[in-house]
């Protein structure tokens, strides 16, 4: 059981290099093919841009294009060095589109897409962060990696936020290679948050049994609380988890949730990588 093909989306931001290092280390663990997509930041005109007229506009566009070329070249050098260091096969790509099918198509030809963290109160918005909802619509699992997350922390302890939803089921299916290679797997269920299952079915024990059929040993934790998002984040922090697996909806910047309002809370407060699917 393995991840054969991983794609990492990169931007010209300080934490871009650490995201690439994490993706390369993960690809090395599974001997995966690694593709890198450099997402070129579009030229954003500010309120003073109206003063650029005539040749000023041409100079402004030329300067922006040169910045994009220089950044792409810098990241390509880092990418090729990572392939060499980890002894990987890979492919370099550039995308000047941060929305829609042009962006999603790269993820649809991979087992896993790696991006940066979601928008949060203390997190700077970037061109790619505004596209996360589109990547979630790719039909592939998406892994959000926090800024400066250390590449040596490669999902040895994985937490599954389980509510028996179709989205959570897809997330677990997409995470199976990671779960299989993990040293510890914890399944967290928050019964008070409400689980859409009929009487007579224990969703926590059922998913633990399902994982066992795939050779994954998991511990089940039934936790109290009505705010499932906070319960899950607190559990991950207390247990020093390396990765959180959960289902999510992809509408309105993930404003909908797995356990009531849990997705929004988790994306805003979790400080570990999160693997999502919808």
pLDDT digits (tens, 9 = 90+) for 107-156: 999 999 999 887 654 555 666 665 566 667 788 899 999 987 999 999 99
Q: How far apart are CA 134 and CA 113, in angstroms?
A: 12
What residue spans define the domains of the chain? Answer: 5-144, 157-277
Pick the closest to residue 233 from 269, 257, 274, 277 (CA basis). 269
Confidence of residue 259 (pLDDT cuts 50, 70, 90): very low
Q: How far apart are CA 21 and CA 78, in angstroms?
A: 9
Give me the torsion for CA of 88, 91, 96, 102, rounded to 10°.
-110
Highest mean pLDDT among 61-70, 95-104, 175-184, 259-268: 175-184
Q: How far apart are CA 278 and CA 276, in angstroms?
A: 7
- Strand pairing report for 219-222 and 243-247: unpaired
Pick the closest to residue 263 from 173, 146, 274 (CA basis). 274
- 């393995």: which residue's tokens? 2
Q: Domain 5-144 has what CATH class?
A: alpha beta
| Domain 157-277 in the same topology as domain 5-144 | yes
Express each pLDDT in 6-42 by its tens digit. 999 998 888 889 999 999 999 999 999 999 999 887 6
Q: Domain 157-277 has what CATH class?
A: alpha beta
| Ordered DSSP codes for 43-98 | ----TTGGG--THHHHHHHHHHHHHHHHHHHHHHHHHHHHHHHHT--EEEEEE---
Cβ 41 vs Cβ 9: under 8 Å = no
Q: What is the pTM of this model?
A: 0.86
């Amino acid at each position: 059981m393995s991840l054969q093909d991983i794609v990492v989306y990169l931007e010209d931001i300080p934490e871009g290099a650490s995201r690439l290092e994490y993706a390369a280390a993960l690809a090395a663990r599974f001997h995966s093919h690694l593709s890198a997509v450099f997402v070129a930041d579009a030229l954003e005109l500010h309120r003073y841009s109206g003063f650029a007229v005539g040749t000023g506009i041409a100079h402004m566009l030329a300067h922006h294009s040169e910045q994009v070329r220089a950044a792409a070249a810098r990241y390509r050098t880092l990418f090729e060095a990572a392939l060499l260091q980890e002894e990987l096969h890979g492919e370099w790509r550039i995308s000047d589109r941060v929305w829609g099918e042009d962006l999603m198509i790269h993820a649809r030809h991979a087992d896993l897409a790696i991006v940066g963290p979601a928008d949060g109160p203390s997190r700077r918005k970037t061109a790619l962060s505004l596209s996360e909802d589109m990547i979630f619509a790719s039909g592939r699992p998406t892994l959000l990696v926090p800024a400066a997350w250390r590449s040596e922390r490669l999902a040895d302890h994985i937490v599954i936020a389980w509510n028996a939803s179709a989205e959570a089921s897809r997330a677990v299916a997409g995470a199976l290679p990671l779960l299989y290679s993990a040293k510890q797997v914890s399944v967290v269920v928050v019964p008070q948050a409400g689980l859409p299952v009929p009487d007579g079915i224990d969703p926590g024990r059922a998913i633990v049994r399902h994982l066992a059929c795939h050779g994954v040993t998991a511990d089940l934790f039934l936790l109290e609380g009505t705010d499932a998002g906070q319960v899950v984040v607190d559990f991950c922090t207390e247990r020093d988890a390396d990765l959180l697996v959960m289902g999510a909806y992809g509408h309105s910047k993930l404003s909908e949730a797995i356990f009531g309002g849990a997705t929004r809370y988790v994306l805003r407060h979790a400080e570990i990588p999160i693997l999502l699917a919808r």
